[in-house]
Structure 1
């Protein structure tokens, strides 16, 4: 006898101190699987990816993006060094 797979799960993280905000939910009923996950991008927008899988249509996704991108709010740190000649080419060094 073949087992019939069936499950549901969901979780979410909302840490405003670090900016880590994301979630996921998924459910499966036999050969059909549906779910979505979302996360806050570095530019302040929210990306939501919805997906569905079944034996007839395969794997399908819909990607949505909400909010206004804030290109001035870069929270990373980039240090650049001077130009460096390597052989016959010139490359720019980045340090993250």
Structure 2
């Protein structure tokens, strides 16, 4: 009987409880933004010859569709460009290369000549007093 009465009182307290609000400590309410499909565009490029860096990226988005392109100058002299679009079904890139790869000529390898070193003399303890 006591268990059922305790359960009933607990249930009644949960039903009658008022939700408590978290205090905002006098801060203004956060802004409410209208729900709208995302829309943006950006572009940047880096050209730093002393460091050997040259790359860039541009992208636009309107709703679920995003279109973009990025490029990088590769160490072998080519330019790699990736053109892409993305939507709710996935990401679809197309990769292109411009120019021909150029590699420095490798120097011929010459193995060092083996060097012979005479072994160090064995240690001999000094002999004291001759007979």
Q: So what's the TM-score if we normalise by structure 1?
A: 0.70
Q: Which structure is richer in relative contact order (CA contacts within 8 A, separation 6 or more)?
A: 1
**Displacement of 1:73:** 7.2
Q: Which 4+ runs in 1 deviate beyond 2 A?
A: none
Structure 2: distance between partners of 1:14 and 1:52? 25
Residue 59 (structure 1) aligns with:
91
2:128 pairs with 1:68: no
Q: How much is the aligned-residue C-alpha RMSD, in angstroms?
A: 1.7
Give aligned pairs, total: 73
Q: Judging by fraction of residues, say which structure has more helix.
A: 2
Paired residue secondary structure (1:44): coil
* Structure 2, unpaired ranges of 5+: 1-33, 107-131
Residue 67 (structure 2) aligns with:
34
Q: Judging by fraction of residues, say which structure has more strand.
A: 1
Paired residue secondary structure (2:40): strand
**Displacement of 1:3:** 2.4
Paired residue secondary structure (2:50): coil
2:98 pairs with 1:50: no
Q: So what's the TM-score if we normalise by structure 2?
A: 0.52
Change (3 A) 1:3 1:39: same
Residue 16 (structure 1) aligns with:
49
State the structure with more CA Rg: 2
* Structure 1, unpaired ranges of 5+: 75-96
**Displacement of 1:58:** 2.0
